[in-house]
Homo-oligomer: A and B are copies of this chain.
Amino acid sequence: MLRNAIRILQRFGSREGILTGHFDRLLVSGKAVSSRDRTKCVSFFLGIDGGGTKTECVVGDNSRVLGRSVGSTIKIKKVGEDAAGRALESAVAEACRSAGVTPQQITRTCIGIAGSSIPEVTDWTYSVLKQLVAGEVQVVNDALIAHHAAFRGRPGVLLIAGTGSNVLGINDCGESGRAGGWGPMISDEGSGFWIGRRAVAYAMRAYDGKQPTSLLDAVMRAWDLKTIEELVSMANSNPPPDFSSLLPAVLQCADGGDKLAGEILISAAEELARLATIVVRKLWPEISKVNVAVTGGVFAHSPQIRQRFGELVRAKHPGAAVNLEPVHPVMGALSMARKCNSASAS
């Protein structure tokens, strides 16, 4: 019942609902920590960012960060439940160890994951974490922890461009709105996957037209392939290959002055700015000052995308305050785990 209620709230909240304040409070599940418990021991909180490529954990008390870890992805659609379970267990164990606490001392955990609107993903994550750590477990969308890391519950628009892409905005009335993030086949514009796939497409187009580009060689090297046939077969395999693993190769080609690679980065920035505009227009129909923040490997590793994205958003929305320093979503998860605690105890 409770898990169903959480799921409904998450799915509702993840598209058009109100995500702050009482939403967080409703998400708190299970028994509250009593005043007596709180006076006799310190509370420990676990924040987790379950991304498409890696899993980050951070353990803290009410104010400090005590330990961290980075493990492999727990995306079950990508690596399967067994590998994902092992990755989650080892990442949690390592973070706890580095913090000097046991998983049984954790008071509350908040995890943000891509694909939280898929019931199997949410259920699996919740049940595995419940076996790994003590206390309450909150499973939310990856965009929500990132937004929290950027704005701590205040209004703003958060752009994610990692393995996938996604935008979450929350306005002054607490209304939320999203854009993008509908999966690699039809969406995910400007993401690492999108950039990698476009790199292969542009490389093949250059091959067709006998145009010079360093992209084709870079892609072949990155994927350790020998022939064009191998590349085409790999690119069209089921399930699709990890196109986002080509991001470093594309960035390197662009740095080396490759025209096509540079065009791909500029078009990624344009796509991300377009997604931002969709959310700004939806949530701030009147001209207004809006805070925009960014996160994810694409923003973190490409100054060119950050700069062009910033220019485009400022040109479109002169009232926007754009912070191009990527935020750390896992810190939002930790903050939400703490916040839930105070909400449930109050």
| Residues in chain A within 8 A of chain B (CB atoms) | 11, 117-118, 177-180, 182-187, 197, 200-201, 204-205, 208-210, 229, 232-233, 235-236, 238-240, 275, 278-279, 281-282
Contact = CB atoms under 8 A, between A and B. Distances in A.
Given A186-B201, A187-B205, 5 more contacts: A179-B205, A182-B236, A186-B204, A209-B278, A209-B281
Contacts of A204: 182, 186-187
A184 B236 contact: yes
Contacts of A229: 11, 117
A204 B232 CA distance: 28
Nearest to A200: B186
A235 B185 contact: yes
A179 B209 CA distance: 7
Contacts of A182: 201, 204, 232, 235-236
B187 A201 contact: yes
A185 B236 CA distance: 6
Say how many copies of this protein the assembly contains: 2
Given A208-B178, A229-B117, A183 B278 contact: no
Max chain B C-beta neighbours (<10 A), residue from A11, A118, A204: A204
A184 to B, nearest CB: 7
A282 B232 contact: no
Max chain B C-beta neighbours (<10 A), residue from A177, A185, A229, A240: A185
A210 to B, nearest CB: 6
B183 A232 contact: yes
B238 A183 contact: no
28 contacts: A11-B229, A118-B233, A177-B208, A178-B208, A179-B208, A179-B209, A180-B208, A182-B201, A182-B204, A182-B232, A182-B235, A182-B236, A183-B232, A183-B236, A184-B236, A185-B240, A186-B200, A186-B204, A186-B232, A186-B235, A187-B205, A205-B278, A208-B275, A208-B279, A208-B282, A209-B282, A210-B282, A238-B239
Contacts of A282: 208-210
Contacts of A186: 197, 200-201, 204, 232, 235-236
A189 to B, nearest CB: 9
A187 B204 CA distance: 8
Max chain B C-beta neighbours (<10 A), residue from A178, A183, A229, A279: A183
Contacts of A11: 229
Q: Which 3 A-B pairs have the closest CB atoms?
A: A183-B236, A179-B208, A186-B201
A177 to B, nearest CB: 8
Contacts of A201: 182, 186-187
A59 B172 CA distance: 71
Contacts of A117: 229
Nearest to A180: B208
A216 to B, nearest CB: 12
